[in-house]
């Protein structure tokens, strides 16, 4: 079955989906996006993703031209037409099409694109059994990382560097030596004193929706948590480490650069959080 995409009011074959060459998302990275995990044909953490989407649009002064109801209908229809039971749905909203100019007119109509694809959950489950490795790189991104912008070139280059070195992800490090986050994930450690640590939310990192859900689950599991900065050295001395995102959930990290974390196997805390998140179902 060929995939179907939604583009500015129409459902079209994925292979034929396109936007105008003067779309500001294409020319200026002038837009935002969201990615939902799909579990058993349902959207995970749906309302939290909508809330973050609307905030990102507001921060860039891009109007939200759909109601939540109409957007939900589009997301649901794209999932249905692509027959996705487990996978992901991608939504991108740009400022729209206009003659190329750094500034913009207020009457531009935003462009919206939605795609969905199936992902075999066994792949991530198998990866979680062995854990993944990460490398560390300098964080070269702009200073508004709290906006889920489509401007991702530094993330892309860092992710490719990780893949070229045989790693799954790259952790980005600020000028003071503290970990900010991964190229497409949030970063976590569990200290030798069994404290779950992740960086506090501000403009330095994206407020991950899965991150928020895991923090709530940590409370239910009675795990002590701290939202604060941590260094690479602290991470390498940690009992456990893991990353989180809509597509990886809680994914154990067993190696940072050349340092083995803990025993070199996925730790219990990360596994408990992953299992609890999957069992929780959609919200």
Contacts of 170 (CB under 8 A, 6+ apart): 134, 135, 136, 137, 158, 159, 161, 162, 182, 183
Please give the Cα distance from 207 to 186 (Å, whole number). 8
Residues annotated as catalytic are 148
Minimal CA–CA distance to 125: which of 160, 154, 92, 86? Answer: 86
- What are the helix (H) ranges across the chain? 24-28, 46-59, 68-81, 121-130, 153-164, 209-220, 232-236, 268-280
Give the β-pairing of 132-138 and 249-256: parallel
Is 192 within 8 Å of 238 (Cβ atoms)?
A: yes
């Amino acid at each position: 079955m060929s995939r179907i995409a939604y583009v500015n009011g129409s459902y079209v074959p994925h292979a034929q989906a396109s936007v105008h060459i003067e779309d500001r998302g294409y020319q200026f990275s002038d837009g935002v996006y969201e990615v939902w995990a799909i579990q058993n044909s349902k959207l995970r953490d749906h309302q939290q993703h909508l809330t973050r989407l609307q905030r990102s649009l507001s921060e860039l002064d891009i109007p939200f031209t759909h109601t939540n109801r109409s957007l939900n209908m589009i997301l649901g229809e794209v999932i249905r037409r692509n027959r996705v039971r487990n996978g992901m749905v991608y939504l991108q909203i740009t400022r729209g099409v206009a003659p190329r100019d750094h500034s913009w007119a207020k009457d531009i109509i935003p462009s919206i694109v939605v795609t969905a694809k199936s992902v075999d959950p066994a792949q991530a489950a198998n990866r979680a059994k062995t854990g993944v490795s990460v490398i560390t790189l300098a964080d070269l991104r702009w200073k508004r990382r709290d906006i889920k912008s489509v401007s991702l070139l530094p993330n892309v280059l860092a992710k490719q560097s990780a893949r070229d070195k045989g790693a799954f992800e790259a952790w980005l490090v600020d000028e003071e030596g503290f970990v900010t986050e991964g190229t497409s994930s949030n970063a976590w450690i569990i200290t030798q004193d069994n404290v779950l640590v992740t960086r506090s939310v501000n403009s330095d990192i994206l407020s991950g929706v899965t991150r928020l859900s895991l923090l709530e689950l940590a409370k239910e599991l009675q795990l002590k948590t701290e939202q604060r900065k941590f260094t690479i050295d602290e991470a390498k001395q940690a009992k456990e480490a893991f990353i989180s995102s809509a597509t990886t959930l809680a994914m154990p990290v067993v190696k940072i650069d050349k340092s083995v974390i803990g025993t070199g196997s996925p730790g219990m805390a990360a596994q408990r959080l992953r299992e609890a998140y999957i069992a929780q179902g959609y919200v």
